[in-house]
Amino acid sequence: MSGRLDGKICLVTAAAQGIGRAIAESFVREGATVVAVDLQPIDDFGPSGRVAVCQADVTDADAVSALARRHEGVSVLVNCVGIVDNGSLLECSAEALNRSFRVNVVSMYNTIGAFLPAMQARREGSIVNIASVVSSVMAAPGRFAYATTKAAVIGLTMSVARDFVADGIRCNAISPGTVLSPSLRGRMEATGNFEAAHAAFVARQPMGRLGAAEEIAAVATLLASDEARFMTGANVVVDGGMSL
């Protein structure tokens, strides 16, 4: 199927690399006009002419409000920004926990709060939040701040879905398992033994492999499209069986 997002303006955060980049590219292929947002510089998307690149910090409410004023027609919002802090509760400082909430949760509060009113006015909108299977779905060792904040993302998603369903707004979450991304690759390299770290991540995947960013993007494309117009408040687990 092609042209599934024809006529839609879609804003994707963390679009410079990994899952965010794969989602933005999938949306462009399906006919959307994409606003690609990241704190880091974003590489060129090619000659499609349907991508506006914006460098912005979505944990900054004023920066997000400015984005919303420049792009009033956004009907699909994808929140991909996130960080992974390691450690148990006893190893997690208050500063690290606050940072995780600011990046993983408050960023979504900012973007949804800024773009939702225009969606309400048009009575049309799809919000897709990237959560994680390590959340309220399952636990993983040494992921206290990450799991706590990603569980909050699932709760945020359900709350927004319930409060605005009558306004034509859909809000869903995707909970990936372990996806090979530049971020994960960097964390594996930081251990000093990339091969051992990679093998450990693969070992916890029943399918015997890590996920690909494009596999998460395929689900995001479905949720953004009118094919999923009866879906809201869902948490779609895409984890290769990790949580079974």
Of 2-16, 17-31, 191-205, the one with minimum mean pLDDT is: 191-205
At how many degrees (to 10) do helices 213-224 and 18-29 cross?
50
Do 58 and 110 touch, CB atoms closer than 8 A? Answer: yes
154-177 pLDDT, tens digit each: 999 999 999 999 999 999 999 999
Give the pLDDT confidence score for residue 131 in this predicted structure. Answer: 98
pLDDT for 1 beyond 60: no
pLDDT band at residue 92 using 50, 70 and 90 as cut-offs = very high
| DSSP-H helix ranges across 123-231 | 144-164, 182-190, 194-203, 213-224
Give the pLDDT confidence score for residue 184 in this predicted structure. Answer: 84
Region 227-239: mean pLDDT is 98
Give the pLDDT confidence score for residue 2 in this predicted structure. Answer: 77
Backbone angles phi, psi at 193, to 5 degrees: -145, 85
Q: Domains of the chain, with CATH numbers?
A: 9-178+212-238 (3.40.50.720)
15-44 pLDDT, tens digit each: 999 999 999 999 999 999 999 999 999 988
Give the pLDDT confidence score for residue 216 in this predicted structure. Answer: 98
Give the pLDDT confidence score for residue 66 in this predicted structure. Answer: 97
Region 188-212: mean pLDDT is 90
pLDDT for 199 beyond 80: yes
94-128 pLDDT, tens digit each: 999 999 999 999 999 999 999 999 999 999 999 99
Give the pLDDT confidence score for residue 53 in this predicted structure. Answer: 95
The string of DSSP letters for 5-74 reads: TTT-EEEEESTTSHHHHHHHHHHHHTT-EEEEEESS------TTS-EEEEE--TT-HHHHHHHHHH-TT-
Do 115 and 68 touch, CB atoms closer than 8 A? Answer: yes
Please, what sign has the CA dihedral across residues 190, 194, 200, 203?
positive
Catalytic residue selected from 146, 151, 153, 235: 146
Q: 201 by DSSP, 3-state: which?
A: helix
Region 8-14: mean pLDDT is 98
Tell me whether residue 146 is one of the annotated catalytic residues. yes
46-79 pLDDT, tens digit each: 777 789 999 999 999 999 999 999 999 999 999 9
Residues in CB range of 179: below 8 A, 6 or more apart: 18, 19, 210, 211, 212, 213, 215, 216
Burial class, 82, CB count within 10 angstroms (exposed 0-12 / middle 13-18 / buried 19+): buried
